[in-house]
Amino acid sequence: MTMAHPQQHEDAVALSLRDLRAGYNGRTVLRGVDLDVPHGTFGAVVGPNGSGKSTLVKAALGLLAATRGSARFFGSPLARVRSRVAYVPQQDAVAEDFPITAVQVVEMGRYPHRGWFRRLTAGDDVAVAEAMEATGVQGLANTPLDELSGGQRQRVFLARALAQRADLLILDEPFTAVDARTEADLLSLLERLCATGVTVLAVHHDLRTVRDRFVYAVLLAGTVVAEGPVGDALSADNLERAYGIAPLAQPATTVEA
């Protein structure tokens, strides 16, 4: 029997996972995942390559069927609160030959509020324009997606999530294709969003950035090794348990996870 989600004030916990298990083709890659991501936190999911970070995100969002366990968002199944949860997929998951312009991608962020077949309102147009400005892609509005660089595309998908004005933003490796300056800009943007009460949960491989900039971390290695305030979750002991080495003690500035 799976553990029940504890009675929570619906806005205290943005994402709650209980005994989540998921995998591919009969192979389990994630098991026994219990997690409570506090609402309003700036959170990262870290762990070695293949530790199940993307799998966790996809299973939580129902993009991959969990083989056991459950996920709740703000105390409810995702279907009940879909407009409150935005997702920025890993860029290699985005079809490059999708015949669509940048602004059309960002407008998709409004569909959870409007439905697919309703015209966008003036309010939707404002949300789209603000999101494109915040991510610096307003000049690319009419450029086809397949003509954008990887970094530009990443900004456009972040703009789509911002346009949704969701309460929880889940991002899978949002900084992989962007340069250091853009990463710093986007991190600041996410921090500002967080300061307005939005929960951010980003899969991120750079442990130093996570330690320096994030507040909350989930450390994964096929299951949750640690979860909580960054300083506690990423303790030397926990990192050693997850990575088999003490990554932050290494001289390199980043550790691929």
Ligand X SMILES: Nc1ncnc2c1ncn2[C@@H]1O[C@H](COP(=O)(O)OP(=O)(O)OP(=O)(O)O)[C@@H](O)[C@H]1O
Residue 99 tokens, joined: 């015949």
Output the smallest distance, CB 220 to ligand X, in A: 7
Rank residues 15 and 257 by Cβ distance to ligand X and give the closer one. Answer: 257
Q: Is 109 near ligand X (CB under 6 A)? A: no
32-71 footprint of ligand X as x/- string (CB under 6 A): ---------------x-xxxxxxx----------------
Closer CB to ligand X, 92 or 146, in the complex: 92
For residue 164, state whether it binds ligand X (rule: CB under 6 A). no
Among 29, 94, 141, 177, binds ligand X (CB under 6 A): 29
Applying CB under 6 A, what is the total number of residues that bind ligand X? 13
Closer to ligand X by CB, 42 or 243: give it: 243
Q: Is 174 in the site for ligand X (CB under 6 A)?
A: no
Least separation in angstroms between CB 38 and ligand X = 22
Whether 62 and 85 have beta carbons less than 8 Å apart is answered as: no
Q: How far is the CB of 217 from ligand X (least distance, A)?
A: 14
Nearer to ligand X, 118 or 241 (CB): 241
> What span, in angstroms and rounded, lies between the C-alpha atoms of 254 and 60?
27
Q: Is the dihedral of CA 206, 208, 212, 215 positive or negative?
A: positive
Q: Smallest gap, in angstroms, from Cβ of residue 43 to ligand X? A: 16
Instruction: Give the nearest distance from C-beta 115 to ligand X in angstroms.
Output: 30
If DSSP states are collapsed to H, E and C, what string results for the chain?
A: CCCCCCCCCCCCEEEEEEEEEEEECCEEEEEEEEEEEECCCEEEEECCCCCCHHHHHHHHCCCCCCCEEEEEECCECHHHCHHHEEEECCHHHCCCCCCCEHHHHHHHHHHHHHCCCCCCCHHHHHHHHHHHHHCCCHHHCCCEHHHCCHHHHHHHHHHHHHHCCCCEEEEECCCCCCCHHHHHHHHHHHHHHHHCCCEEEEECCCHHHHHHHCCEEEEECCCEEEEEEHHHHCCHHHHHHHHCCCHHHCCCCCCCC
Nearest Cα to Cα of residue 12 among 40, 44, 50: 40
If one asks whether residue 26 binds ligand X (CB under 6 A), the answer comes out as no
Confirm or reject binding of residue 117 to ligand X (CB under 6 A): no
Whole-number minimum distance, CB 219 to ligand X, in Å? Answer: 11
Minimum CB separation of residue 254 from ligand X in Å reads 13
Residues 179-218 contacting ligand X, CB under 6 A? 205
List residues near ligand X by CB under 6 A: 24-25, 29, 47, 49-55, 205, 257
